[in-house]
Structure 1
Amino acid sequence: MKKIKVRKIGNSLGVILPRTTGIHEGDELHLMKKGEWLILDMSEANINRARAIIQKGFDDFKYNRTLTEDEMASLLGKYGWHK
């Protein structure tokens, strides 16, 4: 188990979490306390992040930011994009 240090941030307390936790800046996590354990629930943050990625993909179609196969071949042919 890795130790992290609690720090004073204004009138609150905070911790620095390693990137390996999979938490991203701006994520909103649910905090639960069970006995002596503090649990950060990331499930909603993961769902929201996935929804944002999917929505961005749909926006490409909505704003007609798509390419035809011929345009892709012209732009990316040298990288192996072929019909």
Structure 2
Amino acid sequence: MSLLSKLFGGGSAPEPEPETHAGFRIYPEPEKESGGYRLAARIEKEIGGETRTHHLVRADVFSDRDEAAAAALRKARQLIDQSGEGLFG
């Protein structure tokens, strides 16, 4: 990575390790907001050989990134338990 990329945030962050719940993959992806991190996650599942994706974003904002990620995992598990594959459409 070049010096300029390091200074100005170039390059991409490594993909977070997903949590698996009931056959779904959950990627916590807190979004930086002024004052903290918004609860957000990506939920994926292979259905018929195709990867289906649902983006979960809530109004909740946390001061700590790890708290936002933990809350996103809890909310995603709850959503999966309630909706199952209906989550995709």
Q: Higher relative CO (CA 8 A, sep ≥ 6), structure 1 or 2?
A: 2
TM above 0.5, one fold?
no
Length-normalised TM-score, structure 1: 0.31
Could you say which structure has the higher helix fraction? 1
